[in-house]
Amino acid sequence: MTVKTRTPRPAAKKAAKAPQPVVTVVDTRHPRSGLSISYRVTVDTVERAEVIGEAGVSVGLAARFTIQAGPRQRPVTIMASRLIGEGEWYADAMTERGGRVHYSRGFGNRAVRHRLLADLGDVLTLCAYDVRGLVEDAEPGRPLKLRKVKAKRKAKAAAEA
C-alpha cells in the first residue's frame, strides 16, 4: 500500500491558523444553594474588544462559550465580557440553540449585572492567557490589565480582517 502526501496549499495554512475551541469539564458549587454541578464548557473565542457606546468607550475582553449541564440538557451559548479594571467576568447575552434568547445586552453593559460563576471565569481567564500578547494581568479578583497594542499589530490585524 502506498500513501501519497501533498504539500499544503496556502489556503490550507489559513484554515489551520484558525483557533480551535477549548473543551473542558468544570465541577462547580453554586454560591447560594451549595448545589454541585458539572458543566461541559466549550470556549470558542476570547479576544480584545473596544466598543464606542452611549456611556463612552468600553475596552476589555470579550468571550463566547457554550455550556451544557448534561448530555440531555440543551447547550446554552453565553457572550461574556470583562472590562479593564474589573476583577470578574459578566454575562452580556445568553441564548439557546434554536434561537431562544434569555437576555441580550451590548458588550460591557453593566445596567443589570449577571456575574459568571467563579469557575467559569477561571476557565475564560486561562484561555485569555493562552492568547499571546493579549493580557498583562487577569488574575481573578484583581483588575484586568491588557497589553498595549502597537501600531504595526493594529495595521496587521486590520489587514487580516
> What's the pLDDT tens digit per position in 133-153?
788 877 777 778 787 766 555
Q: How far apart are CA 92 and CA 77, in angstroms?
A: 11
Task: Over range 41-70, report the average pLDDT.
Answer: 85
What is the average per-residue pLDDT within 68-94?
Answer: 88
Q: Which 8-state DSSP code applies to residue 141?
A: T
Q: How many secondary structure helices (H) and strands (E) does the chain include?
A: 3, 8
Q: What is the mean pLDDT of residues 118-134?
A: 84
Give yes or no for residue 102 having a pLDDT over 60.
yes
If one compares 9 and 130, the residue with the highest pLDDT of the two is 130
Q: HSE (CB half, 13 Å, CA atoms) of 110?
A: 13
CA dist 103 and 80 (Å) reads 12
Q: Are 22 and 46 in contact (CB under 8 A)?
A: no
With a cut of 70, say whether residue 15 has pLDDT above it: no
